[in-house]
Structure 1
Amino acid sequence: MKNWLSGLLAAVLAVGLTGSIMAQAPLVEDLGYKGGNIKGIKKLDKALHFLVIGDWGRNGENYQKEVAAGMGKAAHDLDADFVIATGDNFYPYGVASTRDYHWISSFESIYRAQSLHVRWYPVLGNHDYISNPDAQVEYSQISSRWSMPSRYYSKKFREADTANSVLILFLDTDPIEKEMRGHAYDSIKYRKGYVQQQKEWIIRELSQSKAKWKIVVGHHPLYTGGWRKDSKDVANMKAFLEPLFHQYKVDLYIAGHEHHLEHVKPAGPTHHIISGAGSEARPVQLHPNGGKFVAATQGFATFSVTNKEILVQFIDYKDQIIHTVSLPK
């Protein structure tokens, strides 16, 4: 009797353990770790490494999960320092509060890889403004990785204010675009004087910085071969920001808004990168004014910054490196 009970107990435990192991297997597959990292990815020595994704929060749909899995691999390969999100973080209406379920369904449960549990530095997009843009700022008080101290802000990396440092400005471009299109002011979202205040801050940050690299991040692009290539908002943003970029020698402007991957180098000091294909992808053409690369596919970009160059690698949702470019200093 005793032997029979012991055997039964052993069988139950074996089934329980097997069930536990089998239940965990899909979790590993969901993260994309099925036999390797990003084939051919290049990691520069002594570099500041970060990933950029834009226009992504769709409850895991439209290849968002696949892009997230690839990001986890790339972040692991590069030992990424942080992630930048270029806006339209939650579709279609942003988030209503810090308790909005979108935080779970589109962020926490999607970007689960340990390598992505680093600081995320987001900017707001036009869709984020539909509900409560300040909820994304407030979420910084709850999350250990979501780091958005205000609607626009700056970060310095490496040795601050030296020839080895990297300055990144994170802009709030939707109010700029709205004001330039003549939208009525809003006491909360588009209050009068806010755009001028931000412009003065941009000038102050760029003019006073001694950083070797000056990088600016915003939601709205200045150059695009996508849907909005002839739109008023692109023309307005170019008129507002490009003179500042030229005057203060901004090296790189990173945007989203357009749902593709793109690199444009027009006349002047600034390279323009679009990484807005975190879930949906749209048709696009090579830009006639300095277009270097474009892809109508879901994916993201990695950046590796050294004293001599910024290496940009574009990676699609199939974990393929589809374009690499070195931006020399």
Structure 2
Amino acid sequence: MMEIALYQVRTFLEVMRTGSLTKAGRNLGYSQSTVTAHIRALESQAGTALFQRLPHGVRPTPDGEIFHDYATRLFGLVNELSAALAGGREISGRVSVGASALTVDQELTRLILECRYRYPKLELDPVGMDSARIPEEIGASRLDMGLVISPPGRKFPARANLCSEDLRTVEVMAVAGRELSDFLDGDTTNPVGTYLEEGPIRTVRILRVDSGSDSSERLREVIGKRYGMDSEFLSVGSVRGALELMRNGPCIAMLPREMVAREIESGEVGILREVPGERHVVRMIWNDQAWLPPVLAATLELARRVAPPLPVPA
């Protein structure tokens, strides 16, 4: 039976991640000689070489690849244990959470409220930014985790070394003020309203609540092909701001249906029937690391609890 220490396995995983003994030591706070000693101890216990030394770095041997698979599973269990035990003791610390304007109002708010209830000494530090920036900030260790809404299956660059988990699905729809949506869908032939008195609509504004989303680009293409209208982009900072602009001008936005359900029901805005909806996912992202700090493990588990799968409207 092999007798190995978790700190040695953690060193092994960091060497695998970086491909370098020096970089692994720098990230873990060890000298290169200490990293080398950890790897040699593992190789002695395994009875085989785990890495092939190269002029600039290392690469795993076939046995090293096998060892990596089991080491990853081992630390997955350690992280699960850490999160499970967190429920039985007081967790304190700080976790920075990146969130786009589409996830602040619901996902992040739920997470903060649940965190205050379960872990009063765990401080969540919300950081608002476009979803496209969040993986980059996490990869650079400037954020601990992030919450985004994106198309399912979107991949990160291989060099990003990120983990992600889809929490639930949402339906993203093209919505506009009621007058504009009725006109575009043919429910009225004379679009007269407070912002339409100067003449026919020739150009609409596409509101970009999250500039990192691809949905606005697809919406622009559909508007040109199906409605024969020009469009221009306008960035807004929140869903509430987008709704206000829709009430007062020819503006359209791709928004999660659940976020504007009340306005749709009241008739303030309407869904454009000619624009196909899109099914997206709420995704949490964090840095791929062998051992998760208890505060981060606890926060990820809370995010799973507060985002149960929700039915997508038919």
TM over 0.5: no
Q: TM-score, normalised by structure 1?
A: 0.23
Q: Which has the higher helix share?
A: 2
Q: TM-score, normalised by structure 2?
A: 0.24
